[in-house]
Amino acid sequence: MHDDFLKLLEAAKSLVTYIDKEYVFDKAAAGGCSGMDYHLSDTFYDLIVNTRKAISQVENGLEGPSADSDNKIQKEGCVQLFEAAKALATYVEKERAFDKVNDMGSVGIETYQSDALKEVVQNTNKAVREVENGLL
C-alpha cells in the first residue's frame, strides 16, 4: 500500500473518531420546552457508516496474508476508502456540520465548527488530494 493511502487511512480514522467522540452533528431543531435537538441527517449518518466500512475493509486487507501484494481486493478497498473519506470530509465542510453550540439567549443559538474539527477535516482533505494527485 502506498504511503499516500496510509496517510488517508489515518486521516479518515481521525475524522470518524472525532465525529464520534466530539458529537458532531449536521442538524439542529427546536426540541420543545426551549430545548434543542441536535442530530445526524440520514445522509451524514450514511457517509459516516460508509467511511467506517471502508476503513475496516482496508485494515482487514492489511492484516491478511497477502498484505504486501497489490491484489484486487486491497485496491478496491483503497478506492472505496478514497471515495468515502472524500465524500465525508466534503459533506462536513460544505454542510457545515458542527461540534460547538453557542446559546445566544432570546436570539437563539449559533452552531459552528471548532478549530479542532476544521483541522481534522483539512487533514483529511489534504490526504485525499495527495492520493488524487498520485493517481493522476
Spell out the domain ranges in the chain: 3-129
Question: What nine digits make up the cell of 51?
Answer: 467511511
Residue among 95, 87, 81 nearest 25 (CA)? 95
Q: What is the pLDDT of residue 67?
A: 47
Q: What is the pLDDT of residue 46?
A: 98
Q: What is the pLDDT of residue 35?
A: 66
Question: What nine digits make up the cell of 21?
Answer: 467522540
CA R_g for the chain: 17
Q: What is the pLDDT of residue 76?
A: 84
Give backbone dihedrals phi and psi of 112, rounded to 5 degrees, phi first: -155, 170
Q: Is pLDDT of 31 > 70?
A: no
Report how far apart, in Å, the C-alpha atoms of 132 and of each of 6, 67, 96, 102, 116 are. 13, 22, 24, 37, 24
Strand (E) positions, the chain? 27-32, 35-39, 100-103, 109-112
Question: Given the DSSP bridges, would you call strands 100-103 and 109-112 parallel, antiparallel or unpaired?
Answer: antiparallel
The residue assigned the cell 488530494 is 129
Residues 6 or more apart whose Cβ sits within 8 Å of residue 23: 38, 99
3 or 14: which leads in pLDDT: 14
Residues 85-102, mean pLDDT to the nearest whole number: 94
66 or 5: which leads in pLDDT: 5
Q: Is pLDDT of 69 > 60?
A: no
136 or 19: which leads in pLDDT: 19
